[in-house]
């Protein structure tokens, strides 16, 4: 089980679509706010004339959106990579590096990462983030993906263990029983060693990801403060509170 940040008490009240030229704030498939470039603002399809102070705040807000939301995708993909690293360590230890088993596993994880990107409608520099609660990264990113990671790893390792077991049983019919038991003991010892190394590696990588998710939450909180100042300076924007912090 992969754990992300402990808590991130922040909600996104609207969908957000990002492309290289625009940020669109969406409600029920309708664009209610659009930011063109860093400093041009449209609300309900009408351009809002901005002062220099308003332009500066809008620029800071749009820069924050462009920086932070793609980070979500990065965190999700990195979580999958931890699962891939774990599986590769075990399978590599049993079958050797770049084995067909490892290559099959890589294909499955590549497909999984593609579907995570598709969830955010990412293509090139385009992103779509649905309205959601960031309070539990585990629920948000894991869910079906975490279960699928565990199934992929279990299936791959199970296949290998079955093959190794059959090989040892086949050889035992020709060898002394003691030799067969010795091979089983050696194999069991090998699994234990791989498992211990793997636990340390996954723990270290998961901690790094935890720190990254916590930083992401902190940056969203800071972005909410900029949004508050933007609303203060531009009252028409106050009707569309995109980031909501549950303080």
Model pLDDT, residue 4: 43
Segment 144-162, tens digit of pLDDT: 566 666 677 667 666 666 6
pLDDT-flagged residues of the chain (< 50): 1-5
> CB-side exposure of 27: number of CA atoms within 13 Å?
11
Please list, in sequence order, all residues whose beta carbon lies within 8 angstroms of the beta carbon of residue 37, skipping any fewer than 6 positions away: 21
Model pLDDT, residue 245: 83
Model pLDDT, residue 59: 97
């Amino acid at each position: 089980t992969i754990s992300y940040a402990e808590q991130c008490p922040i909600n996104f009240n609207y969908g957000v679509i990002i492309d290289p030229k625009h940020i669109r704030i969406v409600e029920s498939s309708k664009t209610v706010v659009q930011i063109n470039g860093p400093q041009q603002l449209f609300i309900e399809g009408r351009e809002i004339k901005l002062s220099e102070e308003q332009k500066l705040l809008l620029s800071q807000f749009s820069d924050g959106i462009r920086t932070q939301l793609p980070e979500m995708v990065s965190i999700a993909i990195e979580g999958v990579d931890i699962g891939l690293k774990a599986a590769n360590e075990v399978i590599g230890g049993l079958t050797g590096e770049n084995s067909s088993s490892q290559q099959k596993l890589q294909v499955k994880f590549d497909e999984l990462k593609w579907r995570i990107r598709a969830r955010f409608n990412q293509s090139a520099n385009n992103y779509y983030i649905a309205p959601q609660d960031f309070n539990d990264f585990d629920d948000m990113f894991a869910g079906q993906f975490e279960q699928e990671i565990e199934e992929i790893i279990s299936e791959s390792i199970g296949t290998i263990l079955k093959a190794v077991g059959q090989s040892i049983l086949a050889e035992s019919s020709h060898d002394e029983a003691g030799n067969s038991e010795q091979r089983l003991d050696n194999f069991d010892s090998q699994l234990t060693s791989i498992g211990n190394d793997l636990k340390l590696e996954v723990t270290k990588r998961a901690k790094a990801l935890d720190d990254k998710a916590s930083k992401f939450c902190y940056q969203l909180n800071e972005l909410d403060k900029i949004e508050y100042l933007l609303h203060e300076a531009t009252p028409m924007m106050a009707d569309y509170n995109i980031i909501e912090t549950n303080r």
